[in-house]
Amino acid sequence: MIADNLLKIEQEIQDSCALVHRDPKEVTLVAVTKSVDSATAEKLIEQGVKNCAENRVDKLLQKKQDLVNYPDV
């Protein structure tokens, strides 16, 4: 399901960029993980997402600890 949703989002980015003659490579996808657990965030990372956002400091610190194997995220 995550992979399917990610593909849909990437397609929407490409379609939107085509409408305004913009290079999709100039767009940065940021996955907001505030409503998911670390395991779900890890699945996103495994699908190639490199930019994640979390709005609660305690959740950010927990996810940072849980996802220590992904230092580039």
Q: What is the pLDDT of residue 32?
A: 95
Its pTM surpasses 0.75: yes
Ordered per-residue pLDDT tens for the chain, 73 residues: 899 999 999 999 999 999 999 999 999 999 999 999 999 999 999 999 999 999 999 999 999 999 999 999 9
Closest listed residue to residue 12, CA positions, set 36, 37, 29, 35: 29
**b (16+ CB within 10 A) / e for 21-53:** eeeeeeeeeebebeebeeeebbebbeeebeebe
Q: What is the pLDDT of residue 14?
A: 98
Q: What is the pLDDT of residue 65?
A: 96
Question: Taking the C-alpha atoms of 6, 50, 62 and 43 in order, what is their torsion angle to the nearest 10 degrees?
Answer: 40
Q: What is the pLDDT of residue 28?
A: 97
